[in-house]
Amino acid sequence: MNVVFHGQSCIGITLDDGKSLLIDPFLSGNPLARTSADEVEADFILLTHAHQDHIQDAAAISKRTGAPIVAIPELAAYMSWQGAETLGMNMGGTVDLGGFAKATMVQAFHSSGIVLEHEQRIVYGGMPAGFVVEAGGLTFLHAGDTCLFSDMALIGRRYQPDVAFIPIGGHYTMGPEDALQAAEWYGAKLVVPIHYDTFPPIRQDADAFVSELGGLGLKGQVVRPGGTVDLSGLA
């Protein structure tokens, strides 16, 4: 299995048989991305919420690859209007992803909307979410964009993630201090910080965050955009 961090909140998961998932594709316009939207493949695309830095390339990749977009119903409808095949789901629901993975939608606390600058209008994008993805014998938690909330502990107990992707950028999501608490509550075997450094307001020291995780007895890994997550010892 190969798990790639593409920058911001974009994660690619490719199984040994070549089946793949892509979460929150933001490659075009991402100054830190090392891969273009034309290069990535996907059998399914998962969207946590409707902000541009999470959906930027979703419709284009979906139309090129044929990958259905999995999202909350309002966002799924919007993506279908862009010509993409979609699969709408909602909080607490679980969907089968082609027989090689399944995804459960869990809570995140954030906002969600598509800003249409030229129309000075905002399209409601449904509630923000996170995903628990089971694939290749491992359980991945993508927390989505979120602040700290106490039910993270419940999510951790219920799903027991092997890997948790947690935002640390601050300003638009929780920052490193709250992310440390989130990591404790999620209880994952490995924590990978995401949603930082892409823009000036969310610059953070990811290495310092991972060091502090170690002080709490938690394992963390900094993955630079385009790099892969070390999954050794998790299976």
* Residue 92: inside a domain: yes
Q: What is the pLDDT of residue 74?
A: 98
Looking at residue 117, its pLDDT comes to 93
| Mean pLDDT score, 134-152 | 98
Give long-range contacts, CB 8 A cutoff, 24+ apart: 77-83: 78/50, 78/114, 78/123, 78/125, 79/47, 79/55, 83/59
- Separation of alpha carbons 68 and 47, rounded Å: 11
Average pLDDT on 63-90 reads 98
Q: What is the CATH number of the domain that holds 100?
A: 3.60.15.10
**Does residue 10 sit within a domain?**
yes
Identify whether 56 is part of a domain.
yes
Average pLDDT over residues 49-76: 98
**How many whole angstroms separate alpha carbon 7 and alpha carbon 88?**
25
When divided into structural domains, the chain yields a total of: 1
- 99 HSE (CA, 13 A, CB side): 1
Mean pLDDT of 125-144: 98
Residue 26: band (very low, low, confident or very high) from pLDDT cuts 50, 70, 90: very high
Domain that holds residue 211: 2-223
CA angle 21, 89, 86 (to 5 degrees): 60
CB of 187 within 8 A of CB of 214?
no
The verdict on residue 229 lying in a domain is no
Q: Is residue 7 part of a domain?
A: yes
Predicted local distance difference test score (pLDDT) of residue 99: 97
Q: What's the pLDDT score for residue 66?
A: 98
In a domain, 228, yes or no: no
Rounded to whole angstroms, the Cα distance separating 59 from 69 reads: 8
Calpha distance 222→208 (Å, rounded): 10
Average pLDDT, the chain: 97
Q: How many residues does the chain have?
A: 235
Whether pLDDT at 204 is above 90: yes
Quick one: average pLDDT of 183-195? 98
The number of beta carbons lying within 10 Å of the beta carbon of residue 184 is 17
Does pLDDT of 235 surpass 80?
no
Residue 136 lies in a domain: yes
Supply the pLDDT for residue 64.
98
Which residues neighbour 100 within 8 Å (Cβ) at sequence distance 6 or greater? 15, 17, 19, 43, 135
Tell me whether residue 148 is in a domain: yes
The two tokens of residue 104 are 């459960």
Structure tokens at 187: 């209880």
Residue 107 has pLDDT above 90, yes or no: yes
